Amino acid sequence: LISLFTRENGEVGPHNSPSSSVVSGLTQESFLQRTLEQLSSTQSLKLTTEDAAPVAVIALQRYLSEQTEGQQLDTYSYDVTITDGIWRAKCFLHPSLNHLVHRNVLRTGADISITQCSFVYNERRLGHGYICVEKLSCVAERSAVLPRVNTVSSLPIDVPLQVSRKHYLSLWNNDDPEGDIWMSGSPSADTVLDVSKVTLLSSLESSFRSTWKPLPLLVKIIHKSRLRYYGKFGLKIDYPYQAYFEVADQSGTMSLVLWNELCPEFYQRLNVGTVLYLQNYTLKQSYSNRSRPQMDHHRLKIFSSVEICLNPRNPASVVTVVSPKSILPQWGLPDISYQFITRSELEKLANNSACDVIGLVTFVGRVERVKSKWKEKYWTYRWVHAVDGTSDRPFILELFSSSQAEIFSRICPMTYLVCTQMRVCHVDGSLPYLTSSCETETFITGYHKGQPYVSDPRVKSFIQWTKTLKDNVVLQKTAVGGYYCYPRPPRMFTQSVADASGQLLVFTCLELETLQYREHKKLAIQGQITAVHYTKRPKSTEPQGLEHKEVANIILKYLPKSNYHRKCKKSVGFLQVPSVSTDVCDQTAPYPSHSSATKQTFVESLTSHCSDNSNALSWESSSWPKQRQEVSEHLCKGGMWQDSISRRFTLDEKNVLLQWSNLQPTRWTPEQTADTLPPVLCPGYYQVTILGKVADLSSLTPDLEDTHVVCILDFCHLGGDKVEVLISKVYRVAEVSLD
């Protein structure tokens, strides 16, 4: 059985390695090696232990689960790579443990103790199999094993995994390329092209459905979409990817689709401005039910009835990336055109119109996830503020992942940000903001060189403005991370209000229980206010972050249904809310700020009835002591999470701030063990207790005693057992519409 651990490619395995290794000058026995040897000697191929030595998680990799008989536990599976400091092993994570990854309990850079594992035969290939981790416990969020390792990549590794694994997906979304299979930086061809026989895009529509073999094409990419992964159970395609490009020649523009294996080979090499020489392509009728970039500003004819398909086989398309120095002006390829706007022009644009923007970043929100309209798929996004000097208000940008993972994770204050094909969003009660589309691309400082937009007059004007700025002045207006709410909830609540994924805002306990790591949901709950309390936090001697006058947070608790409630079919619960409504929050500032000169908020109007209106504000309904006796179970523990408070950006703390605001990485790097951020303090916060109860809204009166309200709640799973729950809006019954 020991031979099962031999790598087919001849790499060293535990059966033919010494029983000890030298790490940092010390001879130690490898716990992993000993475990593998014990696995190989047991008759049941299963090993259980209660005193296993800790091992560190250095990689978590996700992929589409294989279709098996019986009930499928999860759409995706995970491989976990662990080390004891001497040896590395890649193992399969049993599906019953997937929830630990979903909630970021099992995470890279942490120590775990594996209490049960097994060796599973690969029934399709004799002598092959994989190690399955069946039970584990999390020992520490910060590893004690990894600091003893000089270089993780130099440790010997055993990878007896299923041979069908072709590639991995990004850990937190399906949009980003993941792994070394995605080629980038390959040199362009310096070949002499025969352009005498090329055809124009205008001639392709007439040749569709004909038996005529299309002639070569010579085109320039003018737009690029993010990747689309369409893998599913039973699909016999190794690389089920698709990416759209808009290409142009002198006759007009047409869509081009890159399929399957060609995506890892070419997607990262094909950029806006790239010139392609295409052979053996096919044509098919355009797919009408997809998003398209707005291209009126190019002033080119759009051929939309057919699209060009580049396939890896049947036939195998030939794609030649033309070297820039080989491009000739007589080819007549059009210039790349942009439609940059300034912040002062934003209010004049129509809703959903497309535009390009450039600005100096002043605020970057943490990366969050929202469930897409497809089951078990997530989009990742973050909010960004950027200024361009034409207005005292910033661009407010909702940036979704654009298959540019490296850029997306490095957006930070003080960088120049370019976003293309953004869409204008006008919302009642809020300033307009911009959201990304499927065709949006983002670029930051360090990635602008060679981009076609660098010669645009608006870009040059922006650069000239930035030369008048002083870094230390701009830094005082920057921030990173924390809770961010935009756009503001509407002035009147209606039952048709929906969150970003199109779901109706109705709170259920299941919504909280199924939240995954950094998943954001906006939900609504109805109830009555029963208590208000102000908690004062001590101020630090030195500023460690942004000073919030009030910070919103909420604790959700559950009141079990009594017999009376069961008869009435009413669900009951209560909320304790550290909060001041975002009515006082200036969401256009570089960071959420509050002003004492603003109008009185809903919470303040409640506390104004208190006899003691000092810094220790408190009020309690006369009915609350009796109602509180019925509470017996808490759904989640609340509190003032550090992750909820944004921090001032500093260049010295840039790397650790980026780690803090980004998602947990797929692979551990030494930077993860760098110094952690010091705690940031806020002066204090309100905690409001709300008893949730289904009732007839039209029969209630909004008095202080037993005041009935509808609250808009923002939920975000911060990892582990931390769930952030905050109130972004409180509606009195008079402000609620059932239309």
**Cα distances (Å, whole numbers) of residue 179 to 62, 63, 380:** 11, 12, 18
**And the tokens for 169?**
């997906």
Residues 6+ apart with CB under 8 A from 18: none
Question: What one-character-per-residue DSSP string does 290-305 give?
Answer: S-----GGG---EEEE
Percent pLDDT > 90 in the chain is 47
pLDDT surpasses 90 at 724: no
Confidence of residue 138 (pLDDT cuts 50, 70, 90): very high
Percent pLDDT > 70 in the chain is 73
Burial of 397 (C-beta count, 10 Å sphere; 0-12/13-18/19+): buried
**And the tokens for 401?**
């992942």
CA neighbor of 179 nearest in space, from 268, 113, 240:
268
Comparing 417-426, 620-629, 662-671, which segment has the lowest mean pLDDT?
A: 620-629
Question: 538 or 303: whose pLDDT is higher?
Answer: 303
pLDDT of residue 606: 46
pLDDT surpasses 70 at 10: no
Q: How far from the centroid of its chain's Cα atoms is residue 377's Cα?
A: 11
Comparing 62-76, 300-314, 390-404, 587-601, which segment has the lowest mean pLDDT?
A: 587-601
Contact between residue 558 and residue 576 where contact means Cβ atoms under 8 Å apart: no
pLDDT surpasses 90 at 309: yes
Dihedral angle of Cα 700, 528, 634, 629, to the nearest 10 degrees: -90
φ, ψ at 41 (rounded to 5°)? -100, -10
Q: Which domains does the chain have, with CATH numbers?
A: 2-158 (2.40.50.140), 195-331 (2.40.50.140), 343-480 (2.40.50.140), 493-645+680-737 (no CATH)
CA neighbor of 91 nearest in space, from 35, 172, 151:
35
pLDDT of residue 376: 72
**And the tokens for 475?**
């830094």
Angle at 717 between CA 713 and CA 721, to 5 degrees: 120
pLDDT digits (tens, 9 = 90+) for 338-393: 999 999 999 999 999 999 999 999 999 999 999 987 767 899 999 999 999 999 99
How far apart, in whole angstroms, are the C-alpha atoms of residue 407 and residue 227?
Answer: 15
pLDDT surpasses 90 at 18: no
pLDDT of residue 463: 97
pLDDT digits (tens, 9 = 90+) for 694-716: 433 363 335 446 667 888 888 89
pLDDT of residue 43: 54
How far apart, in whole angstroms, are the C-alpha atoms of residue 428 and residue 485?
Answer: 15
pLDDT digits (tens, 9 = 90+) for 560-618: 333 323 332 333 344 444 443 333 233 334 443 332 223 344 444 444 444 447 445 67
Which segments of 537-648 are extended strands (E)?
555-559, 572-577, 618-620
544 Ramachandran zone, left/alpha/beta (phi>0; psi -120 to 50): alpha
Helix (H) or strand (E) holding 689: strand 684-693
pLDDT digits (tens, 9 = 90+) for 183-216: 876 666 667 788 888 999 999 987 776 667 789 9
Contact between residue 512 and residue 556 where contact means Cβ atoms under 8 Å apart: yes
pLDDT of residue 187: 65
Comparing 142-146, 411-415, 522-526, which segment has the lowest mean pLDDT?
A: 522-526
pLDDT of residue 505: 42
pLDDT of residue 513: 77
User: What's the mean per-residue pLDDT of the chain?
Assistant: 78
| Residue 285, beta-bridge partner list | 306
Question: What one-character-per-residue DSSP string does 51-64 give?
Answer: SPPPEEEEEEEEEE
Question: What one-character-per-residue DSSP string does 356-380 give?
Answer: EEEEEEEEEPPPEEEE-SSTT-EEE
pLDDT of residue 357: 98
pLDDT surpasses 50 at 17: no
pLDDT surpasses 60 at 274: yes
Residues 6+ apart with CB under 8 A from 470: none
CA neighbor of 399 nearest in space, from 374, 419, 416, 415:
419
Confidence of residue 524 (pLDDT cuts 50, 70, 90): confident
Helix (H) or strand (E) holding 564: helix 563-568
Angle at 666 between CA 664 and CA 672, to 5 degrees: 55
**And the tokens for 32?**
């992993």
pLDDT of residue 127: 59
CA neighbor of 441 nearest in space, from 463, 469, 417:
417
pLDDT of residue 110: 94
Comparing 101-115, 160-174, 443-457, 672-686, which segment has the lowest mean pLDDT?
A: 672-686
Contact between residue 251 and residue 332 where contact means Cβ atoms under 8 Å apart: no
